[in-house]
Chain A
Amino acid sequence: MATVDPPETVPLDGSDDVIRARHRVRDRAAALGFDLVAQTKLVTATSELARNTHLHGGGGELTITEVEDAGRRGLRLEFTDTGPGIADVELALTDGWTSSGGLGLGLSGTRRLVDRFVRSHPQRRPEQLRVD
């Protein structure tokens, strides 16, 4: 998968940043011609992961990169936080698992909204989650 543009970075240190991240991803997805359903899924995935980064990861940033794969253009979103990392990522990606009293569908549900969901550096903490 080739990257196209220089990446764009959005800080994720407060709840306003979560809104800003959603706006940037929506604008970039619309510019690439994503249809409304695809835009909505990607922006919703952004909202889940941006909130996670801000609330559980001690803040961090989102990097948006345009990518091309077999003639298809898309967006790669990398969420990097400054927190302790996810102790058991498979568990965290299970429906119904929660560390915060929620429904436990944030991470696991997000995986269903995107084509790829990768934990970029399993050996590394803080956490970096990537969706394409």
Chain B
Amino acid sequence: MTAVPVVRMRDALVAAMQEDIDDRTALELADRLAGEVAAHGARLVLLDVSAAQVVDSFISRVIVAIARVCRLLGAQVTVVGIRPAVAITLVELGLSLDGVRTALTIDDALTALGNGASGDG
């Protein structure tokens, strides 16, 4: 599977997960994001999952790991665009991306961050 594209926008990195991400591609994204945050001094990471039709226990574990690692590197991660059906499924699975900031759209994410909000993500 092709790697997840990561775009740099000022001090933010935007990564858009594809519809059907496999485990290896997700792990590779986690490593690459950590490297890019450190290399560019990014302060924000927006992880767009609006295309993802499935977020299972493995992918959600990778997302939580990305948020923790990036926080240690000085960047805040916001997961953007979780689909309603995916949110319902995650809660039933017993997973709720605890400690990870979320937003419906990239616009909402930037607005929330622009308001001086400082999260635990």
Which label, helix, strand, loop or mixed, suits the secondary structure of the B interface?
A: helix
Which label, helix, strand, loop or mixed, suits the secondary structure of the A interface?
A: helix
A39 in contact with B57 (CB, 8 Å): no
B1 surroundings in chain A (CB, below 8 A):
19
In the bound complex, what is the Cα–Cα distance between A102 and B61 (angstroms)?
8
Residue of B at shortest CB range from A42? B89
Residue A36 lies at the interface, judged by CB distance under 8 Å to chain B: yes
Q: Chain A: how many interface residues by the 8 Å CB criterion?
A: 27
B61 in contact with A44 (CB, 8 Å): no
A23 surroundings in chain B (CB, below 8 A):
20
Residue of B at shortest CB range from A43? B54
B93 in contact with A105 (CB, 8 Å): yes
B36-66 vs A, Cβ < 8 Å mask (1 yes, 0 no): 0000000000000000011111100100000
In the bound complex, what is the Cα–Cα distance between A116 and B89 (angstroms)?
16
In the bound complex, what is the Cα–Cα distance between A103 and B90 (angstroms)?
13
B-contacting 9-mer, from A3-11, A59-67, A107-115, A124-132: A107-115
A15 in contact with B85 (CB, 8 Å): no
In the bound complex, what is the Cα–Cα distance between A36 and B86 (angstroms)?
9
In the bound complex, what is the Cα–Cα distance between A16 and B23 (angstroms)?
10
B93 surroundings in chain A (CB, below 8 A):
44, 105, 109-110, 112-113
A103 surroundings in chain B (CB, below 8 A):
57, 61, 95
Contact among A15, A26, A41, A108 for B22, CB-based, below 8 A = A15
Interface residues of A in 58-77 (CB under 8 A from B): none
B95 in contact with A41 (CB, 8 Å): no
28 contacts between A and B (CB under 8 A): A15-B24, A16-B22, A19-B20, A26-B53, A40-B54, A40-B85, A40-B86, A40-B88, A41-B88, A43-B54, A44-B89, A44-B93, A47-B58, A48-B56, A51-B56, A95-B94, A103-B57, A103-B61, A103-B95, A105-B57, A105-B93, A105-B94, A106-B56, A106-B57, A108-B94, A109-B94, A110-B93, A112-B92
A residues lining the B interface (CB < 8 Å):
15-16, 18-19, 22-23, 26, 36-37, 39-41, 43-44, 47-48, 51, 95, 102-103, 105-106, 108-110, 112-113
